[in-house]
Amino acid sequence: MSALPPYASPLQRTWYYSFRVICGLIFFFLIFPILVILPLSFNAQDFFTFTKEMLALNPAGYSFKHYQDFFTNPDWQQALTNSVMIAPVATLLATSFGTIAAVGLSQSHVPYKPAIMAVLISPMIVPLIISAAGMYFFYSRIGLQGTYWGVVLAHSALGTPFVIITVTATLVGFDRSLVRASASLGANPVTTFFKVQMPLIIPGVVSGALFAFITSFDEVVVVLFLGSAGQKTLPWQMFTGLREQISPTILAVASLMVAISIVLLTVLEMLRRRSERLRGLTPG
């Protein structure tokens, strides 16, 4: 597939180019819906489609009014504040519990490992609607339903599997003799962890934290059931906006979120490269 040989028959030539066209169309399908909302969010009208002025590239057809609405409307600002209050705390909880557990899981003799792993991964496997239903029933029994901490705890539980997976993946390439060397030089386990192990697994920890962050920041089903009006997050506000009074401000928010995902993607890619570079240096 990589390159067309000079002796290729006309049929092979046709197939080669039509396959590329097909792939191009599928890539278009993947990326177009995300790109199309960017220009639409600058629409001067309250429409969800391109106006004549926009197509003629007339500046009058474009405006920042939907962005302005997002930054001035108290509903959206409250939602943004709530999201910013919930996601980092949930990320912190998930990352700290998850990293410690991943270090434990990567030891050579862990009893009942498959069972423990199944429990720890389960929040990722169980459909969100079932998690939401179960948490709603259970948290209302213990008085956490409709509270800030209820949402934070639920979101951190949902985020931990991602931390476990990314951190254990980085620990696979971790050279155990470094721990022994550090111990033989007199460091206690805590010092060893923070001075030797942590700097090497930090890419895995950060990408796990990013996954946990985006899980919480993007989560709508659980917060819809567990939260009360006081915990209305950005995705929740978007969800109600899409379902009831559809306003183009959603497109402005969506464009901002696309920008956030581009930043996240770049950071993750950089981390991956760094981790690969580091792993190239250590044997095994």
Q: How far is the CB of 52 from other proteins (least distance, A)?
A: 11
Minimum Å gap between C-beta 60 and other proteins is 20
Cβ 159 to other proteins shortest distance, Å: 11
Closer CB to other proteins, 181 or 265, in the complex: 265
CA distance 281 to 82: 43
Return the number of the residue (19 or 194) whose C-beta is nearest other proteins: 19
Closer residue to other proteins in complex, CB, 15/194: 15
CA distance 274 to 262: 18
Burial class (CB in 10 A: 0-12, 13-18, 19+), 137: exposed
Give the nearer residue to other proteins in terms of CB position, either 169 or 278.
Answer: 169
Q: How far is CA 2 from the centre of its chain?
A: 33
CB of residue 25 to other proteins, shortest distance in Å:
9
Q: How many CA atoms lie within 13 Å of 24's alpha carbon, on the beta-carbon side?
A: 6
Our CB check for other proteins shows the closer of 185 and 246 to be 246
Quick one: 186 exposed, middle or buried, by C-beta within 10 A (0-12, 13-18, 19+)?
Answer: exposed
Shortest spacing between CB 40 and other proteins, in angstroms: 6
Neighbours of 156 (CB within 10 A): 25
Question: Which two structure tokens, joined as six digits, stand for 41?
Answer: 């969010």
Smallest gap from Cβ 154 to other proteins, in A, equals: 7
Q: Which residues pair with 62 in a beta bridge?
A: 43
Cα–Cα distance list, 56 to 38, 59, 90, 126, 196 (Å): 17, 9, 46, 49, 60
